[in-house]
Each structure stands twice: as C-alpha cells, then as structure tokens.
Structure 1
Amino acid sequence: MSSASRVFFRSGLSLGAEKNLYIDKAIVVVNKPPNFLSQYENSDPDFDTLDCHAAQLISTDSGVSTPLYPLHRLDKETTGCLAFARTLPAARTLSQQFQTRTVSKIYYALVRKGIDSFGGSTQGSIKTCIAYKNGYGHLSETGQGKEAITEWALVGSSSNVPLSLVRLNLLTGNKHQLRIHLAAALGAPILGDQRYSQTVPIEPLRRLLPTSKSSEAPLFLHASHLSFFRYRKNGGKKRFRLGIQAPLPEQFLQLCLKAGIKFDPELAQGGVFIDNKPVEDGRVPELDGQYLHIS
C-alpha cells in the first residue's frame, strides 16, 4: 500500500510517500509539512505555489489516479493531519461532519508562558467571537464576527524558560483561531508566531530554538489527531470513530527535551485508532485502510 501513497499538485510540488499517514477507499490523510499551502489565499504572496482545490492526484498501485477533494485546511506554517476525500460522495459525507462539528481535531502547541503564569489553572475553555480585517483576526468585544471555541489543557512546562506544552481541542474551525485565542485570550502566544505576538522570545528561550533568529523560527503548532465517524460494511456496530495521529515533528520533540518538558512518548509515534483504541498493525479491514508509518 505504501507504494500507492504519492500526492501530486498542479505546481509540480509533491508530498512523497514519507509524508502520507493513512489511506483507504474513501480518504487519504497526509502529514503536512510546514510552509506548505493547503488552500487558496489571494492575500498570500505564494498564492500560486499550491492549489489544493483542483487537479490533485493520488497514484495507486494499479496506476489509476483519482482526484482529491479537500475537507479542511491548515495554516501554511502548521504541521500535521490534513485529510482529503477520494470520491465526491465521501467528500460530501465527511464535509457534513466538519460542518456539524462531529469531527475531533486535536492540536499541540508550544506557548511562551511558564506554569506560574497560568494562575493555577491547568485547563479551560475559550469562547469568543473573532472578527477579521485585511487577513488578520482579532477578538470582537461587540460580539460581531465568527463564533470561536477552543478547549485547552496544560500538558507540561519548563522549569528553565517560559515555555509550556498545551493540548488544544478545536471545536470551531476559524482562520487562525488557535493562534488568536492563545495570544489574545490566554496570553500565551505560540512560539514562532510572528503575526499575533507583539514581542520576541527572551534570550534563554531563543538559544534553544533551531535557529538563532526568532524571525526564522518555525511555528510550533501541530495538528496531532483527527477523527471522524465511519461505517462498517457488514455486521456488528456499524458506526465507529476512526482516528489518525501524526507524530510530533522532530524539532518540536527536540525543543521539549531541551526545555525539560515532559510529554507522552506516544505523541512521537503516530498511529490509527478505532473508537479511541490504537490499532497495533495499522490495518482497518472494514475500510480497506492502512496506516503507512508503523514504527
């Protein structure tokens, strides 16, 4: 199956097999790298680099190519799970799940805030309205704009630098929602976010970054886990929740280790899940599915 997984784009740029996570008869999920466009943005200077809304192909073992239908989007700088439907009926069914908020979208972020700055809170919910102007979003004090809901939980913090790992449940899918909520509502901007952070990291934190220039640091925001309802062909409980997990990027893991932030080692592995339970061999026979990166 792994030889089947190569996604091509009109620009000639490709995501090789090593970037694919999971494939079945209806969907393909890729591990999106940073600085890779997943949507059309007229305001983006790299507008012509990638068009995920047309002319995308996935090659199969049989040599047959099928169009891909985008189901959601990720910011250019964000890494992790990005799903496409392989058929129009699947696109319609899964898109409806996104619209009705039955899709679970879990992210992890490294934020510029130490444990003492959370005021004793280890989790919470942020519910605001976000208004947009010229491509930038801001919290709306008048209640105008788009409803935005984010649940957050503190995973761990560094004892040496103001840096914490947070788990994020994205309940609505507005543009830059997590970046805005963390910076403006929680007071914890995502490390590497040049758009919604007004300050640069302090010197001890900059020394831990993969580049000495804060303006060149990656955005430490990762779409870790994506799950939605699927249906078995025959017998038993027909509806089940299929989950796909993309391993945390190497730079993300290394920074956590340097800063002394503890995390679940499973986050580095990735995998496929049925009803929240890991599938050891990565195979989903009900869907003719296969996770492509078993460690």
Structure 2
Amino acid sequence: MNDTTKPQVRFITVDSEDEGQRIDNYLLKTLKGVPKSMIYRLLRKGEIRVNKKRTKPEYKLVNEDILRIAPIRVSEEADPVSTQLNVVANLEKQILFEDDRLIVINKPSGMAVHGGSGMSFGLIEALRALRPDARMLELVHRLDRDTSGCLVVAKKRSALRNLHEQLRNKTVQKFYHALVKGRWSAKLTKVSEGLRKNDLKSGERVVIVDNVNGKESETRFKVLQHFQDATLIRAFPVTGRTHQIRVHCQVKGHPIACDSKYGHTDFDAHMKSLGLKRLFLHAASIEFTHPLTEQRMKIEAPLEPSLEKCLKQLTKAK
C-alpha cells in the first residue's frame, strides 16, 4: 500500500521579511511541532542546508537563500490548545487593534506572555491558535504575568524590526495605572533608583534597589486619584527594567496592591477584602508610530471589571 503521507524534501526560498533572522529561530517557527533538539540535530548532520551547504544554528538568513530540508516525520499529536479553547476564545474579545502588520491585545492578568516557567501555554501560543494562518507572531515587548493591558505583537519581521528600533530610540510611550498603598505625594513625579536582579536561596528571582551595581532606571509618576488609604497613580517607565514600576513604588513606601513579590501584607489583606484578587497594575495605553503608514497611534486598554469594582469600593479622599 502506498504511503501518501510520506514526508518529502522541502525547499524554501527566504524572502526579505525573514532576512537577518537566525536559522534555528526561523526553523522553529516554520517547522511547527518539530522539537528544538531535532532541529539542531538536523543542522549538525547536514540534513538542513542553505544554498546546498551545511550551516550552523547561528547563521543569519539572507534574502533569496534556498533552504533544503530533508524529509522529517513529525508526530501529528493534538495541540494542547484544545484544553484551552475558552482562553483562546476570550482572547479574541481582547484584541484592541489588528491589521496585516500587528496586533495590539489587552493581555489578561495571570497569563504568561510565553509558555514556560511551569506553563505550557502562554499568550503567544494562544494567539497562534487563534491566527493559524499568520506566518509569524512575535512579541514586540513583554508584560509580567500578573500585569494586564496593552501588548503589541508583530505579524511581520519588518514590523518587529521597526518597533524594536522605536523602543531603542524611546519613541514608544507606555502608560500604566497602579493602585498603591498610602497617600502618594503629587510632588513625587520621578523615581530613578538603580535596579539589580537577585536570586534568593528558594530559587525565586526578585529585583532589588542597588545604586552601585544595578542598572540605571527611571519611572515618572502622576497622581490620578487619592483614596482614604490608597492612591491611583499613572506610571510612565522611561527605561524598561524587569519589575521596574513595582520596585520603584515599593522603595518609596507605596507598594502596589496585591503584589505577591513586593507587596505589603496588611494593605493587601484589606484590598482582598474588597474583592481584589490580582496585582493592580495595568498597561493602560501605548503610543507608537505605525511601521507601514508612519501614523502616530495611541491605543488604550480598559481596566477589567474587577479593577473597576475595587476602585468603586474605595472612599475618595478629600
């Protein structure tokens, strides 16, 4: 009996969209379902060649390169997406903007941007399940798992490069809303403390203030609303360090509500009594220049109902 499903040799011609990408990263996206270890093995054995020559994983693709990929049998196992259909369906409702270059999504709190760290399924995997025909979907920037709000995903390599350049040139503006402990002074408009990652004995990674060996960091703040025991603030991170806003709030004595790493026990208990079950940090808006039209865009993400409900229960300060 003829096996019509027998894998065939594949030839792929690289176009300008994929130029400059490492071949291992390109193959991971192109050969969906093929384990990373197998891709490295195929490259090492010369089963994958570029312009008829063997190549190394770090080789950067050039426009018009011809890739020859030996027959690979990939197990057609069901995608783990099936158990996460509700997550995928919910994400469709969270899309704030989409065209053929990018997607801006209101990322839910509690969802990692990537699978890993004990989670096999993250936002990018859910988006790929939602848009199976998209040739590529790559994060332009990141948000902590517990932070919600505006997250930009590129659908083309050229858009990713363009937006990364805007991030480097600091022409992307990201504004966050956070509910913090106590009365934040309207005069406190800038925090610039050096930050350093620190691994605890438990294996947990935290970020600490270190003005000698830490990385230079700056966040600008504005008071939006004073409450009796808390303040709703707007934060604009000038630099983009890990946990920057969270640590800059903590070091000034105003930790963010329900922050499992940098929070205040009593304040968090009070917030939980009001029904708050997550970190109150939300990427409220993002502003950038569209990679194709060059129009300046500002996209806003509404607060999720649980955060709105929490604010309504707080007594406004005089």
1:111 corresponds to which residue? Answer: 180
For 1:51 and 1:240, how far apart are their aligned partners in 2?
Answer: 27
Amino acid at match of 1:45: G
Amino acid at match of 2:165: Q
Question: Of residues 255, 266, 282 in structure 2, which corresponds to 1:222?
Answer: 282
- Residue by residue over 1:266-289, the C-alpha shift from the partner in whole angstroms, topping out at 9 and shown as x without a partner, is xxxxxxxxxxxxxxxxxxxxxxxx
1:178 corresponds to which residue? Answer: 245
- Percent of aligned pairs with the same amino acid: 25
2:258, 2:268 within 8 Å by CA — same for their partners in 1?
A: no
Name the CA shift for 1:193/1:86 in 2 (closer, same or farther; >3 Å).
same
For 1:113 and 1:11, how far apart are their aligned partners in 2?
Answer: 44
2:98 corresponds to which residue? Answer: 23
Q: Secondary structure at the match of 2:166?
A: helix
Q: TM-score, normalised by structure 2?
A: 0.65
Name the CA shift for 1:67/1:54 in 2 (closer, same or farther; >3 Å).
farther
For 1:92 and 1:53, how far apart are their aligned partners in 2?
Answer: 21
Q: Secondary structure at the match of 2:265?
A: coil
1:208 corresponds to which residue? Answer: 274
Residue pairs, 1:125-140, within 5 angstroms? 125-134=190-199, 135-140=205-210
Name the CA shift for 1:155/1:85 in 2 (closer, same or farther; >3 Å).
same
2:315 corresponds to which residue? Answer: 260
Which structure shows the bigger proportion of residues in strand conformation? 1
Question: Of residues 157, 161, 179 in structure 2, which corresponds to 1:92?
Answer: 161
How many residue pairs end up in the alignment?
A: 228
Amino acid at match of 1:49: F
Q: Secondary structure at the match of 2:193?
A: strand
C-alpha displacement at 1:57, in angstroms? 5.4
2:289, 2:295 within 8 Å by CA — same for their partners in 1?
A: yes
C-alpha displacement at 1:181, in angstroms? 0.6
For 2:222 and 2:214, how far apart are their aligned partners in 1?
Answer: 25
2:118 corresponds to which residue? Answer: 45
Amino acid at match of 1:201: F
Q: Secondary structure at the match of 2:266?
A: coil
Query: Could you tell which deviates more after superposition, 48-57 or 189-198?
Result: 48-57
Question: Is the counterpart of residue 72 in structure 1 residue 141 in structure 2?
Answer: yes
Q: Which structure is larger by alpha-carbon Rg, 1 or 2?
A: 2
Question: Is the counterpart of residue 248 in structure 1 residue 306 in structure 2?
Answer: no
1:57, 1:66 within 8 Å by CA — same for their partners in 2?
A: no
Q: TM-score, normalised by structure 1?
A: 0.70
Which structure shows the bigger proportion of residues in helix conformation? 2
For 1:101 and 1:169, how far apart are their aligned partners in 2?
Answer: 12
For 1:49 and 1:203, how far apart are their aligned partners in 2?
Answer: 30
C-alpha displacement at 1:11, in angstroms? 4.4
Q: Secondary structure at the match of 2:224?
A: strand
C-alpha displacement at 1:54, in angstroms? 11
C-alpha displacement at 1:145, in angstroms? 2.3
For 1:261 and 1:94, how far apart are their aligned partners in 2?
Answer: 39
For 1:138 and 1:202, how far apart are their aligned partners in 2?
Answer: 20
Unmatched runs of 5 consecutive residues or more in structure 1: 1-9, 211-216, 234-238, 263-295
Name the CA shift for 1:167/1:55 in 2 (closer, same or farther; >3 Å).
closer
Unmatched runs of 5 consecutive residues or more in structure 2: 1-78, 200-204
C-alpha displacement at 1:33, in angstroms? 0.5
